[in-house]
Chains A and B, each alone.
Chain A
Amino acid sequence: MEAFTEFESVVVPLDRVNVDTDAIIPKQFLKSIKRSGFGKNLFDEWRYLDIGEPDQACSGRPLNRDFVLNQPRYQGAGILLARDNFGCGSSREHAVWALADYGIRVVIAPSFADIFFNNCFKNGVLPIMLAGALVDELFIEVNGTPGYGLKVDLRARQILGPGGRIIPFDVDDHNRHRLLHGLDDIALTLEHAEEIRAYEAQRRDRAPWLFRGVN
């Protein structure tokens, strides 16, 4: 996984509550057996006026000019500002793959759905939860300031805004450490292989019926 220490970018605002993972990446694109290439279909049904198909080139497709990602001032944005319960619905990690592939490395929202939140950290994307009032303020600032950018410093757990503004944020130590160093989760867990084996042995004694196939 790509390490995450600092990230600075233009902010794109998506002013909708309950943005679900079906909207982030519609189902037809989940048929891919790869991890990459989902960015062009990020928010496909909102972003394009036609119906997208898997393996289709998107450069010639008619764009929905009203959708925020298509507006010239937000091109190249890598920080997504969102509303409550972002990423609700399906567990599809393809939603995070699509955001990351598009270039989004940070999502800021008042709240996230649990599975999506978790999936972000597995893919070098930092989900930041801020108080609702603060998110409201950021929406006003972003909307009112062309080229509005933020710098996210994961080491210092701070967002740096225009005019020297500093917004602290919380992130748990485990995920922060993993992101900062781009660590492989599985390798970390396998450091405890002996403990897993020991647990497994006593579980097999206690509940042998869990360790068998069909009768």
Chain B
Amino acid sequence: MAARTLYDKLWDDHVVRDAGDGTALLYIDRHLLHEVTSPQAFEGLRMAGRSPWRLDANLAVADHNVPTLGLEHGITDPVSRVQVETLDQNCADFGIEEFRMGDPRQGIVHVIGPEQGATLPGMTVVCGDSHTSTHGAFGALAYGIGTSEVEHVLATQCLQQKKARNLLIQVDGVLAAGVSAKDLALAVIAKIGTAGGTGCAIEFGGEAVRGLSMEGRMTLCNMAIEAGARVGLVAVDDVTLGYLAGRPFSPVGEQWDRAVTAWSELHSDPEAQFDRVVKLDGGAVAPQVSWGTSPELVVAVTDRVPDPAAEPDPSRSEAMQRALDYMGLKAGTPIVEIAPDIVFIGSCTNSRIEDLRAAAEIVRGRQVAPGIKQALVVPGSGLIKRQAESEGLDRLFMDAGFEWRSPGCSMCLAMNEDPLEPGQRCASTSNRNFEGRQGVGGRTHLVSPAMAAAAAIAGHFVDSREF
């Protein structure tokens, strides 16, 4: 057989029916559901008198609307409450396993899938959420879908898909101390643009990627969608196996051995041809800070806010100017002179234990600067929260002046009670700096957990390598 990429192998392995025109009906192994993009899908099933094809492929959790404070009072916003209750009711009616609010396993859907071992190598994983690309870190073909497709997967266990092109992002070298997977992800987006991966499945390879933990790989694949690619992938290796061993949904005993043998194929063949290859020097990546309203509008912390007048493309130049106006920034301002009002450490990008450890290391024995109005840490799941507390990280954060919250999507998109106020500037470990994303008029700077923590302490952006 001809040499194949990892994406080719995953694709071939899931074809139920090849339409012969570049599309195929693909089998879906794992379907993750949350409260925002599923109610209309369940309603569609009911209206058509259909039932789920295979119950044990589904796992549901509420995350977007979940409060991160005062859980004992439930959800106070009646509209949010109805949405979460609708998920509870739908899962109960159809017999789908759900981690409900209050269950220690509850958390952000892209955190709990891997944490439970519900995301395994070689799977197809879909969810009505664009950051499903996260799960590709395990050598799984994982991508976000719309609500019509959520209904389609529930009813048929399949999706009609067009095959994507293969894009390899090869990061050679070793990331510097204080530089994380988040900085690498932002550097990749700065290089190829937010549409650079459109129509592609991105495989991340090279020494710097191999050197990342599973948490780091998840951060990288999570941001693939911000580069336009629905799919991000990292090949399976011992780091993957080490993470998965002993997880609740992971196979055990003889099944584990069989699975490991099957998973050993989950890498691109040495001779595989990619449609495009982009190379980066990992050693040259500096901590990144986004300055605009698109994740591609990002520079190194050592840089200045760029000048739209220097951009030759008029449409891009105009977009840059609009971004500066929205962000309340002037071209030429050194990044380290920008002072956030709010610091948010959380989201499906950066709320895992390693992220919290990196941030906690920075704040240890220090105090949040007086200019910071609020500094939040929102763990990605109840289990991560427990783990962090057992390591004493919660004390480090709270002693420094951070708030220690309960798990959920929180301020990443502020569907719960944690929005920015108009004009507020936030150093955020989330994934999108779109206008209004964190609250109407809110201004988002995307950074790593270490950079967010350092900004909280300094009161302005600082280089996490020197902090």
Contact A122 B148 (CB under 8 A): yes
Asked if B393 is at the interface (CB within 8 A of a chain A CB), the reply is no
CB contact between A33 and one of B21, B40, B316, B322 (< 8 Å): that residue: B40
Q: Are B230 and A119 in contact (CB-based, < 8 A)?
A: no
Is B82 in the interface zone, CB < 8 Å from A? Answer: yes
Bound CA–CA A192/B17 (angstroms): 8
Q: Does A23 contact B (CB under 8 A)?
A: yes
Chain B residues with CB under 8 Å of chain A are 16-17, 19, 21-23, 25, 27, 29-30, 36-37, 39-40, 43, 48, 50, 53-54, 56, 64-65, 77, 79-80, 82-83, 86, 97, 116, 120, 122-123, 128-130, 132, 144-149, 151-152, 155-158, 160, 162, 164, 194-195, 198-199, 225, 228-230, 248-252, 255-256, 258-259, 262, 294, 296, 315-316, 319, 322, 413-415, 422, 432, 434-437, 440
Find out whether the CB atom of A20 lies under 8 angstroms from the CB atom of B434.
yes
Q: Which residue of A lies closest to B116 (CB)?
A: A214
Q: A119 near B258 (CB under 8 angstroms)?
A: no
Partner-contacting stretch, out of A64-72, A81-89, A145-153, A158-166: A81-89
Cβ distance A16 to chain B, nearest Cβ, rounded Å: 7
Task: Give the 7 A-B residue pairs with the shortest CB-CB distance, closest first.
Answer: A209-B251, A122-B148, A93-B146, A33-B39, A119-B146, A91-B144, A85-B195
Residues of chain B within 8 A (CB-CB) of A85 are: 194-195, 198, 228
Counting CB contacts under 8 A, is A59 at the interface?
no
- Whether the pair B148, A113 counts as a contact (CB closer than 8 A) is no
A213 within 8 A of B: yes
Besides A22-B413, A174-B23, 5 other A-B contacts (C-beta < 8 A):
A18-B195, A185-B148, A186-B152, A209-B251, A214-B249
Q: How far is the CA of A94 from the CA of B146 in the complex (A)?
A: 9
List, in ascending order, chain B residues with CB within 8 A of A207's CB.
122, 259, 262
| Nearest chain A residue, comparing its CB with the CB of B157 | A196
CB distance from B87 to the nearest CB of A (A): 9
A41 close to B (CB within 8 Å): no
CB pair A186–B156 under 8 Å, yes or no, is yes
Give Cα A172 to B161, complex, Å: 12
- Flag the segment in A2-10, A24-32, A99-107 that touches B: A24-32
Give the bracket for the number of chain A residues in contact with chain B: 35 or more
Cβ contacts under 8 Å, A33 to chain B = 39-40, 43, 82-83, 86
Known: A22-B436, A115-B145, A119-B146. A189 touches B158 (CB 8 A): yes
B151 cross-chain contacts in A, Cβ below 8 A = 186
Which of B86, B144, B160, B195 contacts A115, CB < 8 Å?
Answer: B144
A26 in contact with B436 given A18-B194, A113-B198, A186-B50 (CB within 8 Å): yes
A179 CB, min distance to chain B CBs, angstroms:
13
Closest residue on chain B to residue A36 by CB atoms: B40
Which of A51, A89, A123, A193: most chain B Cβ within 10 A? A89
The reply to whether the CB of A168 lies closer than 8 angstroms to some CB of chain B is no
**Contact call B80/A22, Cβ cutoff below 8 A:** no
Chain B neighbourhood of A114, CB < 8 A? 164, 198-199, 228-230
Chain B residues with CB below 8 A from A193, complex form? 156
A211-B37 contact, Cβ under 8 Å, with A114-B230, A190-B155, A195-B17: no
**A207 CA to B56 CA in the complex, in Å?**
14
